[in-house]
Amino acid sequence: MPDVVPAAGNVAPAFERARSEGRSALVGYLPAGFPTADGAVDAIHAMIDAGVDVVEVGLPYSDPVMDGPTVQRAAEIALDRGTKTRDVLATVAAVAGRSVPVLVMTYWNPVERYGVERFARDLADAGGAGLITPDLPPDDAGDWLAASDQHGLDRVFLVSPSSTDARIDIVAAACRGFLYATAVMGVTGARGAPSAAAPVLVQRVRARTDLPVAVGLGVSDGAQAATVAGFADAVIVGSALVRRLLDADTVASGVAAVGRLADELAAGVRSAGEGSADRSGTPPARSAVVQA
């Protein structure tokens, strides 16, 4: 196996910094190319300015099996504007200089078409931290495991409430950065309350790995972020941020709305950690709750 080349922007330092401050991290997702190429970059900068600790850049895809209607609509707009894989990499490069790690979240087909080793090389050259692959199981990820090792990239695979303990072990062994556990059997999208299944799944995964765990769907405001941050190491928000751009009359007003929501989410995450580095009543957990 080739030596692993350290990546400049892996996510571990962001999680470690948040833990050292006795709080959860805030992770924000937005797709590249939406509402425009420049608008996506501006919105990501607005998230970072507001306190997001880790960024996920979505690669727009025509057949998103995991995404709900909000992210699907944003992807359609981005694709209609001609967004390509190289534009996603350009978005990563445009925001990676902010000392905040940047991951790409993508279905596997675009990476395979682009070329696995070429994608890993170009992502690393753009300053990217790694890849989240919702439809790629580690069993079928031999090329990606090799390429991510070669270029020092984090790789994030998924488990669900139906995953056996043996399956969790397989996924955890293949992950680097954090593990993504879907706490509901459904698509992404903001919900009225965080999934009640999240703490149960967190505990199952925690018992089998020391990796941070990305869990569930549904965070949409500061109060929900605070609730999730009470038992998790990171709160990851996607559809609620995308919705701010979809509902805006102009790109500029949408970017401003993204910044305001990110500021509210950051305040919620930080409020949950005030006065205690142990928010769950148990040893500090390496876990995250994801709504992407």
Torsions phi, psi for 97 (to 5 deg): -80, 5
Burial call 132-149: b when 16+ CB within 10 Å, e when fewer: bbbebebeebeebeebbb
Catalytic residue of the set 42, 67, 87, 122 = 67
- Report the amino acid identity of residue 261: L
- Positions of E strands within the chain: 25-31, 54-58, 102-105, 130-132, 154-156, 158-159, 179-181, 213-215, 234-237, 288-291
- Report the amino acid identity of residue 225: A
Q: What is the CA radius of gyration of the chain?
A: 17
Task: Identify whether the C-beta of residue 89 lies closer than 8 Å to the C-beta of residue 123.
Answer: yes
Compute the C-alpha angle 157/230/28, nearest 5°: 50
Residues whose CB falls within 8 Å of the CB of residue 19, separated by 6 or more in sequence, listed in order = 233, 277, 284
Residues whose CB falls within 8 Å of the CB of residue 195, separated by 6 or more in sequence, listed in order = 183, 184, 215, 216, 217, 218
**56: annotated active-site residue:** yes
What span, in angstroms and rounded, lies between the C-alpha atoms of 123 and 163? 30
**67: annotated active-site residue:** yes
Catalytic residue of the set 3, 42, 49, 56 = 56
What span, in angstroms and rounded, lies between the C-alpha atoms of 166 and 274? 37
Which residues form the catalytic set?
Answer: 56, 67
